[in-house]
Amino acid sequence: MVDIIGSDQTIRDVYHLDATTEDYDAVMERLSRNGVPLVPHIILGLHFGKMLGEWKALEMTAKYPLKLLVLVILMPLSGTKMEQVQPPPADEIGAFFETARKALPETEIMLGCARPLGGIKKEIDRLAIDAGLNGIAYPAEGTVAYAREHGLEPQIINACCGVNWSFKKLNHN
């Protein structure tokens, strides 16, 4: 699991790294080349609540065979420099979900646990369902019922959304 950042400015101003988007792309290329399953995370609103580079990050991830794509949203945490930062508006988040689904029609896309709490969480969860995302970590109250109303049958999995479990039957002879 690795955060993929699609803006050099965000890498510099938020992560305070002397790196570029090309460095992040190179990490995915090396992991892919060496057979490491790719589970990239794209953080919506990472640049102080603004959408800056998320679409480029999506383009970067689309070049590789992904095991899973995880989308998360900036959470303003108390005691941090971003505690007063507002996440992107729900309509921008929903538009990104739809773009991601269209860009990666065969890839499982999950809404990760990192997302704002409160009423916006419920709205974001519904947007994820409406856009056709494959799963939601820690859904807001009413989200499972909303999914069922839309013809989906949610499965509850007690694991990190970045872990896509598959089991093989072991032959103990």
> What are the tens digits of pLDDT across the range 26-36?
999 999 999 99
What's the pLDDT at 163?
54
Domain that holds residue 85: 2-149
Phi and psi at residue 65, to the nearest 5°: -75, 110
Closest CA to 115 of 98, 90, 133: 90
What's the pLDDT at 169?
40
Question: Residue 119: inside a domain, yes or no?
Answer: yes
Question: Residue 172: inside a domain, yes or no?
Answer: no
What's the pLDDT at 168?
39
Question: Residue 158: inside a domain, yes or no?
Answer: no
Question: Residue 167: inside a domain, yes or no?
Answer: no
What's the pLDDT at 162?
55
Report residues of the chain scoring pLDDT below 50.
Answer: 165-173
Question: Residue 141: inside a domain, yes or no?
Answer: yes
What's the pLDDT at 167?
38
CATH number at residue 75: 3.20.20.70
Q: Is the pTM of this model over 0.85?
A: yes
In order of 30, 31, 33, 39, 110, the CA distances from 27 in angstroms are: 5, 6, 10, 12, 21
Q: What domain count does the chain have? A: 1
Cβ atoms of 59 and 89 closer than 8 Å: no
Question: Residue 18: inside a domain, yes or no?
Answer: yes
The DSSP 8-state label assigned to residue 106 in this structure reads T
Question: Residue 111: inside a domain, yes or no?
Answer: yes
Question: Residue 127: inside a domain, yes or no?
Answer: yes
